[in-house]
Chains A and B, each alone.
Chain A
Amino acid sequence: MTHLTIAPVLLPLLAGALLLLTRRLLPLGVRRGLNLAAVTGQVVLAVMLLMAVGSGDVLTYNLGNWPAPYGIVLVADRLAAWMLLITALLGFFVLLYAVRGTDRGSRHFHPIYQLQLFGLNGAFLTGDLFNLFVFFEILLLASYGLLVHGGGAKRIRAGLHFVVINLAGSTLFLFAAGTLYGVLGTLNMADLAVKVAQTSPENLGVVRTAGLLLFAVFGLKAALIPLHLWLPGAYSTTSAPVAALFAIMTKVGAYCLLRVGTLIFGAEAGPLTDLYAEWLLPLGLMTLLLGAFGALSANELRRQIAYLVVVSVGLLLTAFGLASAAGIAAGLYYMVNTTFATAAFFLLADLIARRRGAMLDRLSPGPAIHRAGLLGGLFFIAALLVVGLPPLSGFVGKFLVLSAAFEDRSWPWVMAAVLTSGLLGMIALGRSGSLLFFNTTAGVERDPPGERMALMPVFGLLALCVGLLAASGPMLGFCTATAEQLLHPQGYISAVLGPTSGGTNP
C-alpha cells in the first residue's frame, strides 16, 4: 500500500488550506507562486502515479487501514491516473492564465481553485460510491464559487441555475445510493460489482432503477441530452479561465459513466450487462446533433464554444457507448484532445473579446483586431482541433471513433450523426472566424498592455494537443490498454477486495 495513491488528494487540500490561511499574511504574488507550485506538484504526482500503474497494476489505499469493503478505499488504475494527469495539466495552464488578473475579482480565488482540483482528483480516485458523492459535492461547491467569481448580474443568474440544478442532481444521487445500499448492502464499487452480478431476480428491477438514476445524475454532470441545458448559460457567462477549467467538469460525468458502466454494470453483471451502453449510444448521438445546432444558432463566440463542448461530450459518450475496447480507447484519446482544445478556445475567445472594445465576443461586425494574424491563426488551429479536421489530433480522435463504430451494428447512425455534426460545427466556426477577423468596420483597437504573455497558456494547451498528435502511437497503445483493463474488471475487483475474499460479505 503506497501513499502515492492518496497524495493527489492530499496535496490540493493542504495547498488550499494553506492559501486560505495565508490570505492576509502573504502578498498576492507569493500566493500565486504557491498555487502554481501546488499545481505543478500535482502534475508530477500524476505522472508518477501513471508510471506506477502503467504496467496494469491497480493501486489501492485503505484509509485508516480498514479493509474494503468496510473501510473507505482509494483506487488508482490506468483510467484514474490518466484523468488525474489531464486535470493537473489543464489546471496548470488555466492557472497560468488566471494569475494575469482574473484572480483579483474575489479574495478566495486561489483556495477555491485548489479545492476544485481536490474534488476532481478525489472523484477520479475514489472506489466508493458514497465518497464519489462527497467528492462531487466538494468539486461542485468549489465550482459554484469559481462560477460566480467576479460577480455581475448575468453571472449570478447563470450561477443560480447551475447551483439549483446540481443540488437537485445531488439529491437524486443520494436516492440512487440509498436504493443500492438498501438492496445490495454495500457502497464499495468493487463490492457492488460482485453483488450486482449475484442479484436475485426479484431485486433486479430495483437495482436497474437505481443504476439508471445514477445514469441520470452522471448524465447531468456530463451535459448529456436532455440534461445539457445548464451548460451553455453557465460556461458562456463565467470568466474565461473558469470556463476553461470547466472543460474537465463534463469529463467527470463521462468518467463516472464509463467507470460505473464498465465496473458495476459491465460484462459480468448478468442481466444488467450494458445497462449504460444501450442508453449512451442513442443519447450521445442526439447530443452531438443538438449541440451542433446550438453552435450554429449561437450569437456569441463563447456560447458557441460552450455548445461545441456539448458536441464533444456527445462524441465522447458515443465512443463509450460502443462498449468495445476500440471504442473506449478512441474516446479516451479524444477526451484529451477535446479537453485541452476547448480550454484553449475559451481562453482565446477571451483574448479576442478584449480586443474588440464594446463588441466583446458578440458575433457581429466590430472593430478590427490588433495582431489579427496571430490570433486568427490560433483561432484556426483551435477550430481544427475542436471540429476534428485533419491534420491535427481532433481528426485522429474522430477517425478512431468512426473506425471503432464500424464494428458495431449501429454504424450508419454513428457515421451520419458524427459527420453531420462535424459539418455543422465547421460551418458555425467558419462563420464566426470570418465575422471576427474579416468583416470588420472601424479602426483597430489598441492592444491592452501586457497581453503578450497572456498568449502563453493558449500556446501551451495547443502544444499539448500537437504533442498528443506526435505521440499518437504510444498514447493510443495506452488508451487501448486502459480500455482492456476497464472491460476486464476482475483485476480491479480483486485488487480492492483482496484476492482471497472474493467479495464475500456476511
Chain B
Amino acid sequence: MEALMSLIVGVLSACGVYLLLRARTFPVVLGLTLMTYAVNLFLFASGRLTIGAPPIIREDATQYTDPLPQALVLTAIVISFAMTAFVIMLALKARAELGNDHVDGRADREESA
C-alpha cells in the first residue's frame, strides 16, 4: 500500500507541476488542483497508513490510527477548495479583461497576425 500511495502522490505532483508550467490559465488551474490532491494524500500518509483502525478512542479498539493528519487534511481540503474557486473566478475575469486565456495576457503570434 505504501508503494501505491507514494506512486500516486508522485504521479499527481508530476502532472500538477507539468500543467502548472503551461501557458494557458485552464491547465494552470488544473495543475494547481492536482498539486493539492497530491499534497492532501501526502499529508494523510504522514500519519502512517493503517487499515481498519479507528482514529478516536473506542472501548474495543486494539489499534488506533493517527487522527491529527486527518484533521489537517480536512483543513487543507477546505482551504484548497476555496482557493480553487477563487482562482477559477480570477482566471475567468482575466479571460474577460484581457481577451484571451494566456497567463501573460498576450495572444499567440498567429492570432494577432
Contact = CB atoms under 8 A, between A and B. Distances in A.
A178 interface: yes
Contacts of A167: 32, 35, 83, 87
Interface in B34-83: 35-36, 38-39, 42-43, 45-48, 68-69, 72, 75-76, 79, 82-83
Contacts of B20: 164, 168
Interface residues of A, number: 28
A181 B83 contact: no
B90 A144 contact: yes
A160 interface: yes
Given A160-B94, A163-B90, A178 B83 contact: no
B39 A175 contact: yes
B66 to A, nearest CB: 9
Interface in A394-446: none
A379 B84 CA distance: 41
A151 B68 contact: no
Given A141-B86, A175-B42, A178-B42, A156 B97 contact: yes
A92 interface: no
Interface string B18-29: 001000010010
Interface string A143-182: 0100010011100110111011001101100110111011
Contact of A181 (B25, B46, B75): B46
Contacts of B42: 174-175, 178
Contacts of A170: 79, 83
Q: Is the interface of A mostly helix, strand, loop or mixed?
A: helix
Contacts of A478: none
A134 interface: yes
B86 to A, nearest CB: 6
A130 interface: yes
Contact of A163 (B72, B86, B97): B86
Interface of A: 130, 134, 137, 141, 144, 148, 151-153, 156-157, 159-161, 163-164, 167-168, 170-171, 174-175, 177-179, 181-182, 187
Interface of B: 20, 25, 28, 32, 35-36, 38-39, 42-43, 45-48, 68-69, 72, 75-76, 79, 82-83, 86-87, 90-91, 93-94, 97-98, 103-105
